Amino acid sequence: MPALQPVRGTRDIMAEEARRFRRVIECARDIAARYGYEEVATPIFEFSEVFERTLGETSDIVTKEMYKFEDRGGDKVTLRPEGTAGIARAVISGGLAQEAPLKFFYQGPMFRYERPQKGRLRQFHQIGVELIGVAEPAGDVEAIAMGAGVLDALGLKGKYTVEINTLGNTASRTAYREKLVAYLRDKPLSKESQERLERNPLRILDSKDEGDRAAIANAPLLPESLDEESKNFFAAVRGGLDALSIPYKVSPHLVRGLDYYCHTAFEFTTDTLGAQGTVLAGGRYDGLIAAMGGPQLSGVGWAAGIERLSMMIEAPAAPRPIAIVPIGAAAEARALSLAGELRGAGFAIELGYRGNLKRRMARADKLNARAAVILGDDELAKGVATLRDFDSGDQKQIEFAQLAQQLQQFR
């Protein structure tokens, strides 16, 4: 019988990679907290309707990529493919509209059935933020600044580009949509883009198909259809980014295809990951909560892939433990209680389970221990422990009462 393997598109996250993941999450959590964002955790599965309403019943995610099933009670549920819909649902079901503005940070696994590739798995992980109830351009500026803050704190300053665009308000987008459809109607488009032409034409602007890209090369641009309100909103966003000295470039083909998206769309891209160049993306979605049956509430937010970010950063060093090395039965008992005392004082302690002095010291060396606390009959008789500094080679005896204080230097 062949050995069990993880399901295609999933993987185990261990050791060095787990430390990189933790660094991304903790860094994002810290930056979000500085902006006043509270961490929330929504269920990893929801009623399928939550995503069908928010992502569009004819979108690729809903028709091709969602993990949806009927549970034993007959309910149709879906593993979440993204984080925003669950938070929007929580705002509605929790009756939180009266508490707006609401600031949320989240992190966790998402699920999409797609072809696995570098940085893109069927179970993947995201960090994200959502700002609910702020209609002003300042909300967009804050979201983008927070994304830049997270990447900069991870040591990625200078390794990404902020790309922004405006989708305008509903009137502007409707006017542009008519122009775009009229222009593309007689152009040779891919099958996928032909299907999108009537239901989601803006998504064609984001197509990676070479034929589609040639067809849209001279297409009308959305900024040409903006009314004064939309122009002023985008100018305010750009002015805010300028005031914060956040460099950006305007990318007129950067779009979001669903109708509840409006005004600012943005992506943080990099050329360090090959084809998968987007590491953080977001935008304004003022119509989302109303489309889900809730009140009219503005929203803006972003999500970033932890896998992709973790590939761009150095792994934090593994903690270097203090090894306790007992010699003899009496020392074994004292070592057990000593390990508990030191762990309670906040030290990382490695207590071997078996072996003589040589084997235990070899294991401590393999674990890159910072120091060893050696206990034998002589030490127990004197009420001391032998403390060996692995880096310097120094060794001395320390009274048990002073041991925790002496070990502070090795934290």
State the pairing for strand pair 123-132/299-305: antiparallel
Q: Edge-to-edge strands of the sheet including 384-389?
A: 349-351, 322-326, 371-375, 384-389, 395-399
Measured CA to CA, the distance from residue 294 to residue 291 in angstroms comes to 7
Q: Is 57's pLDDT higher than 60?
A: no
With cut-offs at 50, 70 and 90, classify the pLDDT of residue 62: low
Helix crossing, 15-34 with 137-153: angle to 10°?
Answer: 140
Torsion of CA 193, 196, 198, 199, to 10 degrees: -170
**Which tokens hold the place of 244?**
């914060």
User: Going by C-beta distance under 8 Å and a sequence separation of 6 or more, which residues neighbour residue 325?
Assistant: 335, 352, 357, 360, 361, 364, 372, 373, 374, 375
With cut-offs at 50, 70 and 90, classify the pLDDT of residue 116: confident
User: Taking residues 340-353, what's their average pLDDT?
Assistant: 92
Sole residue written with tokens 């999450």: 25
12-29 residue pLDDT tens? 999 999 999 999 999 999
With cut-offs at 50, 70 and 90, classify the pLDDT of residue 272: confident
What's the angle, vertex CA 299, arms to CA 297 and CA 301, rounded to 5?
A: 165
Per-residue pLDDT at 290: 93
Per-residue pLDDT at 119: 65
Per-residue pLDDT at 299: 97
With cut-offs at 50, 70 and 90, classify the pLDDT of residue 82: very high
Per-residue pLDDT at 371: 94
- Amino acid identity at 272: T
What domains appear along the chain, each with residue ranges and CATH number?
Answer: 15-169+227-311 (3.30.930.10), 322-410 (3.40.50.800)
What is the 3-class SS of 98-114, one letter each residue? HHCCEEEEEEEEEECCC
Q: Is 167's pLDDT higher than 80?
A: yes
Q: What percent of the chain stands above pLDDT 90?
A: 67
Q: How far apart are the first and last CA of the chain?
A: 47
Q: Do residues 15 and 82 touch, judged by C-beta distance below 8 A? A: no
Per-residue pLDDT at 219: 85
Per-residue pLDDT at 326: 94
Q: Is 168's pLDDT higher than 90?
A: yes
In 3-state terms, what secondary structure has residue 219?
coil
Nearest Cα to Cα of residue 78 among 86, 88, 66: 66
Measured CA to CA, the distance from residue 370 to residue 282 in angstroms comes to 44
Q: Edge-to-edge strands of the sheet including 299-305?
A: 38-39, 102-111, 123-132, 299-305, 278-284, 262-269, 161-166, 249-250
The model carries a pTM of 0.89
The 10 Å Cβ neighbour count of residue 108 is 16
**Which tokens hold the place of 260?**
């509840």
- Report DSSP state, residue 297: -
What's the angle, vertex CA 202, arms to CA 265 and CA 230, rounded to 5?
A: 50
With cut-offs at 50, 70 and 90, classify the pLDDT of residue 276: low
Per-residue pLDDT at 56: 62
